[in-house]
Amino acid sequence: MGGAEPETDGRRIASAARDRVRFEEEALELADQVYRVARRLVGSREEAEDLVQETYARAFRSWRSFTPGTNLRAWLFRILTNLNVDRGRRIQRSPDFQPLEEGDYYLANKLAAAEGEQALDQERVVERLSQDGVVNALAEVPHDFRDVIVLVDIGEFSYAEAAQILDVPIGTVMSRLHRGRRILKQKLAEETLS
């Protein structure tokens, strides 16, 4: 049976190579989504490109630690957010202050005050906020809150996935999201309606 072993090894190597190629292909298919979220976590396009490249370099190196059949997108973002924290690249450093925030109707109330209550019924009322204004307002949200908004509202991750990616309890995701969206609306009002 001397010939059996090399053949088994050969098969194992071939099978690992196939797993690896499949892993790499699946990861590359997610590149658009990874970039879209990364872009809003950091301050510039160049930083986002660097962050995505570092993420993929690390992911390709440590592909064996990914369990096939589990959530690859969340796994990649776990790497990405860790790298981002390590590099201190997030737009703002941890603020200790607790920002004041208005209620959830704040922005709508402002628009209604400026344009009349009926304006809120118009289909395109939100387009009065410029797209640049939205991007700038988002960048002004303190990063702990912004990271959650970006993952859930732009990356379309569930609360549970965001909790896994950021390594915080799900309750923390929910409270940061809730407060972060309020802060964002306040910033949007300042940014685009002043």
Partner 1 sequence: MTEPDPCETCEELLQPYLDRELSPDEHVAAERHLDGCEFCKRRYRFEVSLRRYIRVSASERMPDGLRAKLAELREVAGS
State in angstroms the smallest separation of the CB of 71 from partner 1.
20
Is 167 among the residues that bind partner 1 (CB under 8 A)? Answer: no
Cα-flanking dihedrals φ and ψ of residue 94, to 5°? -45, 115
State in angstroms the smallest separation of the CB of 66 from partner 1.
14
- For the chain, how far is it from start to end, CA to CA, in angstroms? 82
Is 93 among the residues that bind partner 1 (CB under 8 A)? Answer: no
What does DSSP assign to residue 2? T
Contact stretch for partner 1 (CB under 8 A) within 29-37, 65-73, 81-89, 93-101 = 29-37
Is 113 among the residues that bind partner 1 (CB under 8 A)? Answer: no
Nearest residue to 187 (alpha-carbon basis) of 66, 92, 101: 101
Is 148 among the residues that bind partner 1 (CB under 8 A)? Answer: no
Among 14, 113, 126, 160, binds partner 1 (CB under 8 A): 126
State in angstroms the smallest separation of the CB of 92 from partner 1.
17
Among 19, 26, 35, 172, binds partner 1 (CB under 8 A): 35
Q: Give the separation between CA 138 and CA 149, rounded to whole angstroms.
A: 9
Helix extents (H) in the chain: 4-29, 31-41, 45-61, 72-86, 106-115, 131-140, 143-149, 159-166, 170-193
Structure tokens at 181: 């969206």
CB 151 within 8 A of CB 77: yes
Among 16, 57, 114, 160, binds partner 1 (CB under 8 A): 57
Cβ within 8 Å of residue 160, ≥6 positions away: 170
Cβ within 8 Å of residue 136, ≥6 positions away: 187, 191
Contact stretch for partner 1 (CB under 8 A) within 37-45, 71-79, 81-89, 161-169 = 37-45
Is 181 among the residues that bind partner 1 (CB under 8 A)? Answer: yes
Task: Please report, as ranges, the residues that interact with partner 1 according to CB under 8 A.
Answer: 20, 24, 28, 31-32, 35-36, 39-40, 45, 49, 52-53, 56-57, 60-61, 103-105, 107-109, 111-112, 117, 120-121, 123, 125-127, 129, 131, 134-135, 138, 150, 153-154, 174, 177-178, 181, 184-185
